[in-house]
Structure 1
Amino acid sequence: MKRLVVFGCGYSAKRFVELHGTSFDAVDATSRSPDGAAKLAAEGFSAHVFDGSPASPELARAVAAATHVLVSAPPDESGDPVLRGSGEALSDAGALEWIGYLSTIGVYADADGGWVDETTLPESDSERGRRRVEAETAWLAFASRKSAALQIFRLAGIYGPGRSAIENLRSGTARRLIKPGQVFNRIHVDDIAAAIAAGIARPEIGPIVNVTDDEPAPPQDVIAYAAELVGLPVPPDIPFEAADLSPMARSFYSSNKRVANRVLRRELGVDLAYPTYREGIAALAL
């Protein structure tokens, strides 16, 4: 019996279950709050509340019976919440075959616009990135002790239905921040789901997989392209130095790198449905 437990069933993890959940006999999912768990239950999930505290008896039993575990819960100031609250149940999971950990390309330091790949050491220059590096290290150590396959999916900027430049344009919140030379990778949520499915099928690949599109691009180009597709005005240029940004948003722009997806493409064999932002935005504009 194949049983999947999803820790942190948010946008990306939920989309994976929607597209590929039928390959499992049972799927359990967690949310940090009772309201979130209730919403998951209303969508047909076997839902549990989990916030990093010791797992409930019901969740612990599900984890102990799991064959596959997908972790989408971010680390906090105390470390990885899943290992902290469900580490014992995971250690007891006798049938556990595979662990997928959804991380971020934010673990890579600024490369001044240069290329990085899975061989690049993670040396994040932000506190959030350093927490991710520590969580990845903890999961690698756990998987080694457990003799379970682990794949760490380092995700680029996520977009998809309900979360894209098109929604921002229509709501009037889209801004064209201009920072010369700045580029970002992106990834459509459906391509994230495809990457996870490919990893489960080929657990020997990795353990690090950059899940990014083929074309790092300036953020203002994405806004202009989306505006043209949906027939809305292109927002005016705003120099980065003059922009009113939160500390988190400003730190996001402080890292400039192009992230290669060689392992995803060549080793996992994922054929991206949306290899650049153009295909992805065009599909969302329909």
Structure 2
Amino acid sequence: MFDAMTGTRPARFRRQRLLVVGCGDIGLRVVRRLAGRVRVLALTSSPQRVPALRAAGVTPLVGDLDQPATLRRLAGLAPRVLHLAPPPTKGLSDWRLDPRSRALAAALARRTPPRVLVYASTSGVYGDCGGAWVDETRLPAPQTPRAWRRWDAEQTWRLWGQRTGARVTVLRVPGIYAPDRPGGAPQRLASGTPVLRREDDVYTNHIHAEDLARACLRALWLARPQRVVHVCDDTERLMGDYLDGVADLLGLPRPPRIARDGAERQLPLALLSFMNESRRLRNGRLKRELRLRLAYPTVDDGWAQATATSWSRTSHSA
């Protein structure tokens, strides 16, 4: 039906809108999965990205989370919001706070707030758990500035949801990987960066980028109100064993092993912080509440895709 007086269709016939804040690799994977069924608007601070976003079927909105005045136009634009943007790392008056989430929350509340907001956080908010199994009921204990800012963002959004009545979901995400994702394990292996010897090593957690995109979509439509969900696969592996496995699958040299005592002299501080935290995430809510069946249940499944793709290209070019 079409209203000739207003030039609009009734709400039930209009395409739903989704606002993506931080439309990088994961955001674009979400967009591809929607395949035009939902109108996607994306906030970008870079005018240079506008053509690429339009080519992906996205309506770009130029604005900067670090400049709250540029966010006013976001109010009332979409009933669902996917927030993938990280907190800032520089220019902070308080290193424990995420001013970006606070500015976005204020902007979205200026008019009718979204009904649903999904925020992608980090499993780093738990700090070191000594290799213990962790579910979503464990109290966060952030130990790095990055984790503290994420924890502040989580609290900002959960309180915002309580005030506005919006259904807020926090996704706690570990290491993201995919064969077509730049950097990551292959780059680290190629550079010969050491890992800890087995007796000093830590448990790490992972999720394939495509499974994360699928989890984001399911959270937008299926998640329970004010809920935290771990988005991780079924892998239970020490960091060094994980990288050894990737090296073997891709035909790269295994990384050298070092003792923890010497790690501080050989590794950058950012990488060392990951080696100081060990935990194993449970993903029961992901499977039970979001009803997500992982396409890549383990890291071996995900990286095997890379070798299969490489073999396919080689055989077709032969």
TM score, norm. by length of structure 1: 0.88
Q: Which residue of 2 aligns with 1:85?
A: 103
**Aligned residues of 1:106 and 1:129 also touching (Cα < 8 A):** yes
What displacement does 1:231 show?
2.5
3-state DSSP of counterpart to 2:302: helix
Q: Which has the higher contact order (CA 8 A, sep 6+)?
A: 1
**Aligned residues of 2:82 and 2:220 also touching (Cα < 8 A):** no
Q: Which residue of 2 aligns with 1:34?
A: 47
For structure 1, list consecutive stretches of 5 or more residues without a partner in the other structure. none
In the TM superposition, what are the counterparts of 1:186-265 in structure 2 within 5 Å?
186-204=206-224, 207-243=227-263, 244-265=266-287
Q: Which residue of 1 aligns with 2:68?
A: 54
Q: Which residue of 2 aligns with 1:64?
A: 76
What displacement does 1:65 show?
2.0
Q: How many residues align?
A: 281
Output the CA distance in 1 between the equivalents of 2:193 and 2:185: 9
3-state DSSP of counterpart to 2:121: strand
Output the CA distance in 1 between the equivalents of 2:57 and 2:239: 37
The partner residue of 1:274 within 296, 301, 304 is: 296
Q: Which residue of 2 aligns with 1:182?
A: 202
CA deviations on 1:55-112 (whole Å, 9 max, x unpaired) are 53xx644442211101111223364344443434411442622100000000002111
Output the CA distance in 2 between the equivalents of 1:86 and 1:219: 35
For structure 2, list consecutive stretches of 5 or more residues without a partner in the other structure. 1-13, 309-318
Q: Which residue of 2 aligns with 1:283?
A: 305
3-state DSSP of counterpart to 1:64: coil
TM score, norm. by length of structure 2: 0.80
**Aligned residues of 2:42 and 2:58 also touching (Cα < 8 A):** yes
Check if 1:125 corresponds to 2:143. yes
3-state DSSP of counterpart to 1:119: coil
Q: Which residue of 1 aligns with 2:314?
A: none
Output the CA distance in 2 between the equivalents of 1:87 and 1:178: 41
RMSD: 2.3
**Aligned residues of 2:65 and 2:104 also touching (Cα < 8 A):** no
Range with bigger deviation, 249-258 or 7-16: 7-16
Output the CA distance in 1 between the equivalents of 2:75 and 2:41: 9
**Aligned residues of 2:177 and 2:209 also touching (Cα < 8 A):** yes
In the TM superposition, what are the counterparts of 1:67-146 in structure 2 within 5 Å?
67-76=79-88, 77=92, 79-94=97-112, 96-146=114-164
**Aligned residues of 2:75 and 2:112 also touching (Cα < 8 A):** no
Instruction: Answer with 1 or 2: which has the greater Rg.
Output: 2
- Specify the code of the residue in structure 1 equivalent to 2:300: R
Output the CA distance in 1 between the equivalents of 2:33 and 2:193: 32
Over the matched positions of the two proteins, sequence identity in percent amounts to: 34
